[in-house]
Amino acid sequence: MAEAITSRAQDYSQWYLDVIKFAKLADYSPVRGCMIIRPNGYALWENMQRALDDMFKATGHQNAYFPLFIPQSFLAKEAAHVDGFAKECAVVTHSRLKLDPVHGLIADPDSKLEENLIVRPTSETIIWDTYSRWIQSWRDLPILMNQWANVVRWEMRTRLFLRTMEFLWQEGHTAHATEQEAVEETLTILDIYAKFAEEYMAVPVIKGIKTASERFAGAVETYCIEAMMQDGKALQAGTSHFLGQNFAKAFECKFQNKNNELEYVWATSWGVSTRLIGALIMVHSDDKGLIMPPKLAPTQVALVPIYRSDEDRVKVLETAEGIKKELLAAGVRIIVDDRDGFRPGWKFNEYEVQGVPVRLALGPRDVENGTVEVARRDNGTKDSVSQTGLAAYILNTLDDVQKGLFDRALKSREDLTTTVDSYEEFQSVLDSKGGFIRMHWDGSEETENKIKEETKATIRCIPLEGYEEAGTDPITGMPSKGYVYFARSY
Amino acid sequence: MAEAITSRAQDYSQWYLDVIKFAKLADYSPVRGCMIIRPNGYALWENMQRALDDMFKATGHQNAYFPLFIPQSFLAKEAAHVDGFAKECAVVTHSRLKLDPVHGLIADPDSKLEENLIVRPTSETIIWDTYSRWIQSWRDLPILMNQWANVVRWEMRTRLFLRTMEFLWQEGHTAHATEQEAVEETLTILDIYAKFAEEYMAVPVIKGIKTASERFAGAVETYCIEAMMQDGKALQAGTSHFLGQNFAKAFECKFQNKNNELEYVWATSWGVSTRLIGALIMVHSDDKGLIMPPKLAPTQVALVPIYRSDEDRVKVLETAEGIKKELLAAGVRIIVDDRDGFRPGWKFNEYEVQGVPVRLALGPRDVENGTVEVARRDNGTKDSVSQTGLAAYILNTLDDVQKGLFDRALKSREDLTTTVDSYEEFQSVLDSKGGFIRMHWDGSEETENKIKEETKATIRCIPLEGYEEAGTDPITGMPSKGYVYFARSY
């Protein structure tokens, strides 16, 4: 490989883009702000989808699919919602192209739509319009629905995976008979997101509540999980919204309760997106390239056979196939890279850059000795290991890597979390090491805005756990109910 | 259920829509021509995706994701392609809405795009633009890529699943160093499609080649699988295109071959869509509702417990849970419907309408006798069966249903296939029973068009098998290489 990955110390932002490029996760597209997700990136997304989808289904959710297009008038029905999305949406105005003798291909004026269509930035409006037709009685509730879909938000500044004009996500939309049930659903999903982030992505997260100014457009309360990147910036990794009756009112969605009274339906919505891939890269990877947690890695083990003579080739590949068979049977996602025309060193480098958790090397001497070299991507260790009992050894190693990545990320986040009791210290920590800064806050939007304007740090969340310690806002001297998490963020 | 499903004899077209409605497969949306795929329909699609995706991956294909939007100028680069799609595409012209004091919400004129964006009707253009950057040498080939995505074609006459403005599909796009390899890929995929249709959907298909006038816009050759519906109309169930070097030339995609010469890359593309769900409904279902083949049925077995007293309830549910556990362990997708407030008869009807292949009923007497009632959806038989060895019995029954549905569909297609040697007979068969009509054709577009205009029947395909018997076109008296398949179609 001619070029090299920029180091994190030199330019963190460029390092991130280099990792994506060298690990072949994504590419730019000719349409500004839209990305091409390459097979390595998409396979990661598929594994994320599978794990999340299983958790959604295990909690009673079903998948469905709603249209890509939303009538413009729908967006306007929920006041906060239209404010949040009208300024960044793709508007379809025509249904046909035609060849104009002067201007070439143009949108055919005769095909102008009676009403513009919006490419969905999120689907609350079209779904609540539908629910208003599906729901009549308490017997029709709850509806626990999710969809895997693409959405479009016309972002001005984009960055691969983290902020793109089109992205892939899942959006859950549930309907309930009571406020309590809807709030419980919101928290059930928040727990699923946190569990997924920590157990699959090996990314520790803070569960919390967004302040009013950071709430989803149309929500009563937005819950979130917040993660910390290696450079000291935070990243919102998932949100779960309690929507109250806002959308039910906007779309006249009422149900007859058990007392035969008409009531508005209670709602939630929640989503995570391909932005999670950005978080995964930024939390674990290093200057050599991507590091993938074993539970999500499309390839967990890559075996590189080493030989010179044809005779050795036969022996080595035969043993390699035996190992592959044994590991596949144990549920390990292993490949044997027997491509000719590529040197072993080149292959080693390829799996390192692409973040495959474990790389095996097998040469003629290994075949004789009944051994194999096991190299770990996370810490670089190499061990010669007996082929006997290899499957158990590898399963154990993968567990160890998974746990090790989480522990390392947790330690990093703890190192990057500082509790301060003065605004001076806040600013000094923010500019020196960044990270999460726990500080008292008086609960006012005014103070929140002042801090944001002066430091570019926002309140990432009011934590669900550890928010008991009352105190004083160091800026205003007003009382505070507890420490909240501030950070600069992606 | 207050309303009933229209019978096929009365109105086949309405019957089809009724089955979709009563089986809760899909719903209309507020955007004309776009459909809402409900959980029952989407779960079917997920099972189709899983089976196809496994077959694609087993033949070396990888999934990726390309942008939803295509620059208008891209569409124009391949002449036949723009002709095929320019007249039916959603055109994005603005990136923002604004509130106008007079007209309300409008597309903000200040946000007009420099170049219109087209919502992809298919992705050849954006993918070949990308491939032209990814491919330099023969070492970069082949590229075997697929994506699962939504596409939009502005159809005027739509029908749920069969023809919708937005639909879900997979589109494969492969790049090869030689013509032969690309043709082989096209046929590999055609075989996968045929295998999927026959072994999973239990729908027999004819593999064939489209005539020039029915080819994909931009293809050199379009291969297809054609299925026959119960009403005697054909349905194109999947297409696999050999694109030659057309798109490589349009996007200047060349590679250095092993002799260090620059050559244009060879291409294929192929797709199946949610239209398959329409085919599945129309081939198997009956006047009582949907019939699903077991291999694709989200629920294969529904157990309805029957009891009156609380004491019986406990006993019956305990036995039911035991049966569920045993069947789940055997890999059967079973649910126990223990919902209160719904009578057993209502539940029986629900599973019948929704096409669940096997329904079990378990009452107190069954618990005593160690039996369970097994009812088959496909033929309506009911048997009292011992609980001992039930898993094996059910697995066998599901196999039998799967095979039975295929055999029935095959017999129906055979009954609906007629070989004729005169145009008079052709017209008479077409108007009396419809179906596939095998007739000699001289190979001219003129004859093809004449038949189409006069009868609305088109050449569905030139069959890959059984096209040896030369003869005479009964209309023109010109020589014909073999019988081709004509039909009216969806």
Torsion of CA B211, B213, B214, B216, to 10 degrees: 110
The Cα A297–Cα A351 span in angstroms is 12
Mean pLDDT for B76-99 is: 90
The DSSP code sequence of A44-91 is HHHHHHHHHHHHHHHTT-EE-B--SEEEHHHHTTSHHHHHHHGGG--E
Q: Is pLDDT above 80 for B2?
A: no
pLDDT value, residue A271: 98
pLDDT value, residue A76: 85
> From the CA of B294, how many Å to the nearest CA of chain A?
20
Helix axes B275-284, B39-58, angle to 10 degrees: 110
pLDDT value, residue A466: 86
What's the gap between Cα A208 and its chain centre? 17
> From the CA of B88, how many Å to the nearest CA of chain A?
5
pLDDT value, residue B104: 86
> From the CA of B85, how many Å to the nearest CA of chain A?
9
Chosen from A70, A105, A153, A277 to mutate, greatest number of chain B CBs within 10 A: A105
- Residue B79's identity, in one-letter code, is A
Cross-chain Cβ contact B154/A96 below 8 Å: yes
> From the CA of A29, how many Å to the nearest CA of chain B?
7
Window 176-205 of B: residues touching A by CB (8 A cutoff) are none
> From the CA of B104, how many Å to the nearest CA of chain A?
9
Cross-chain Cβ contact A105/B82 below 8 Å: yes
The Cα A267–Cα A178 span in angstroms is 9
The Cα A406–Cα A204 span in angstroms is 7
Cross-chain Cβ contact A95/B88 below 8 Å: yes
Residues of chain B found within 8 Å of residue A125, distances taken between Cβ atoms:
none
pLDDT value, residue A239: 98
The Cα A369–Cα A364 span in angstroms is 9
A&B contacts, CB < 8 Å = 192
Helix axes A390-415, A275-284, angle to 10 degrees: 90
Cross-chain Cβ contact B119/A46 below 8 Å: no
The Cα B465–Cα A386 span in angstroms is 54
> From the CA of B63, how many Å to the nearest CA of chain A?
6
Show pLDDT as tens, one digit a residue, over chain A (490 residues).
447 999 999 999 999 999 999 999 999 999 999 999 999 999 999 999 999 999 999 999 999 999 999 999 998 888 788 888 888 999 999 999 998 889 889 999 999 999 999 999 999 999 999 999 999 999 999 999 999 999 999 988 999 999 999 999 999 999 999 999 999 999 999 999 999 999 999 999 999 999 999 999 999 999 999 999 999 999 999 999 999 999 999 999 999 999 999 999 999 999 999 999 999 999 999 999 999 999 999 999 999 999 999 999 999 999 999 999 999 999 999 999 999 889 999 999 999 999 999 999 999 999 999 999 999 999 999 999 999 999 999 999 999 999 999 999 999 999 999 999 999 999 999 999 999 999 999 999 999 999 999 999 999 999 999 888 899 999 999 999 999 999 999 9
Residue B287 vs residues B5, B228, B461: alpha-carbon distances, Å: 7, 18, 31
Q: Is pLDDT above 60 for B393?
A: yes
b/e string for A37-72 if b means 16 or more Cβ within 10 A? bbbbbbbbbbbbeebbbebbeeeebbbbbbbbbbbb
- Confirm or reject contact between B247 and chain A (CB < 8 A): no
What would the pLDDT profile of B311-332 be if each residue is shown by its tens digit? 999 999 999 999 999 999 999 9
- Measured over all CA atoms, what is the biggest interatomic distance in chain A, rounded to whole angstroms? 84
pLDDT value, residue B78: 82
pLDDT value, residue A341: 82
Residue B278 vs residues B45, B65, B201, B456: alpha-carbon distances, Å: 11, 26, 11, 21
Please state the three-class secondary structure of A92-158 as a single string. EEECCEEEECCCEEEECHHHEEEEEEEECCCCHHHHHHHHHHHCCEHHHCCEEEEEEEEEECCCCCC
Cross-chain Cβ contact A67/B149 below 8 Å: no
Q: How far apart are the first and last CA of chain B?
A: 30
- Measured over all CA atoms, what is the biggest interatomic distance in chain B, rounded to whole angstroms? 84
Residues of chain B found within 8 Å of residue A130, distances taken between Cβ atoms:
27, 29, 36
The Cα A360–Cα A375 span in angstroms is 6
Q: What are the structural domains of chain B?
A: 12-80+121-284 (3.30.930.10), 301-397 (3.40.50.800), 417-487 (3.30.110.30)
Secondary structure letter of residue B196 according to DSSP? I
* Strand B301-305 versus strand B358-362 pairing type: parallel
Residues of chain B found within 8 Å of residue A54, distances taken between Cβ atoms:
none
Residues of chain B found within 8 Å of residue A91, distances taken between Cβ atoms:
92-97, 107, 111
Residue A185 vs residues A136, A176, B144: alpha-carbon distances, Å: 21, 9, 41
Q: State whether residue B158 is helix, strand or coil.
A: coil
Q: State whether residue B367 is helix, strand or coil.
A: helix
Q: How far apart are the first and last CA of chain A?
A: 30
pLDDT value, residue B3: 76
> From the CA of A50, how many Å to the nearest CA of chain B?
11
The Cα A94–Cα A92 span in angstroms is 6
The strand pairing partners of A221, in sequence order, are: A242
Helix axes B390-415, B310-329, angle to 10 degrees: 70
The Cα A188–Cα A453 span in angstroms is 34
CB-neighbour burial class of residue B382 (10 A; exposed 0-12, middle 13-18, buried 19+): exposed
The Cα B484–Cα B469 span in angstroms is 10
Element of type H or E holding B284: helix B275-284
The strand pairing partners of B175, in sequence order, are: B143, B267
Chosen from B21, B28, B53, B65 to mutate, greatest number of chain A CBs within 10 A: B65
Element of type H or E holding A310: helix A310-329
Window 52-71 of B: residues touching A by CB (8 A cutoff) are 62-71
Structure tokens, B347:
């539940």
Window 107-136 of A: residues touching B by CB (8 A cutoff) are 107, 111, 116-119, 126, 129-130
The strand pairing partners of B208, in sequence order, are: B224, B463
CB-nearest partner of B63 from A46, A116, A150? A46
Backbone angles phi, psi at B403, to 5 degrees: -70, -40
The Cα A322–Cα A334 span in angstroms is 12
Mean pLDDT for B362-369 is: 97
What would the pLDDT profile of B178-224 be if each residue is shown by its tens digit? 999 999 999 999 999 999 999 999 999 999 999 999 999 999 999 99
> From the CA of A171, how many Å to the nearest CA of chain B?
14
Place of tokens 């600069």: A488
> From the CA of A80, how many Å to the nearest CA of chain B?
14
CB-neighbour burial class of residue A228 (10 A; exposed 0-12, middle 13-18, buried 19+): buried
pTM of the complete model:
0.96
What's the gap between Cα A41 and its chain centre? 12
CB-nearest partner of A72 from B93, B97, B145? B97
- Confirm or reject contact between A328 and chain B (CB < 8 A): no
Q: Is pLDDT above 80 for B1?
A: no
Residues of chain B found within 8 Å of residue A119, distances taken between Cβ atoms:
68, 92, 119
Cross-chain Cβ contact B90/A65 below 8 Å: no
Helix axes B275-284, B12-22, angle to 10 degrees: 110
- Confirm or reject contact between B79 and chain A (CB < 8 A): no
Chosen from A53, A54, A97 to mutate, greatest number of chain B CBs within 10 A: A97
User: Mean pLDDT for chain B?
Assistant: 96
Backbone angles phi, psi at A31, to 5 degrees: -95, 120
CB-nearest partner of B30 from A34, A129, A149? A129
- Residue A387's identity, in one-letter code, is Q
- Confirm or reject contact between B91 and chain A (CB < 8 A): yes
Cross-chain Cβ contact B38/A105 below 8 Å: no
- Confirm or reject contact between B46 and chain A (CB < 8 A): yes
Mean pLDDT for B148-177 is: 96
Residues of chain A found within 8 Å of residue B66, distances taken between Cβ atoms:
29, 36
The Cα B161–Cα B275 span in angstroms is 5
Element of type H or E holding A311: helix A310-329
Nearest chain A residue (CA) to B46: A63
Cross-chain Cβ contact A93/B91 below 8 Å: yes
pLDDT value, residue A1: 45
- Confirm or reject contact between B21 and chain A (CB < 8 A): no
The Cα A249–Cα B344 span in angstroms is 36
Backbone angles phi, psi at B246, to 5 degrees: -60, -50
Residues contacting B330, CB < 8 A, separation 6+:
B391, B392, B394, B395
- Confirm or reject contact between B378 and chain A (CB < 8 A): no
pLDDT value, residue A103: 87
Q: State whether residue B135 is helix, strand or coil.
A: coil
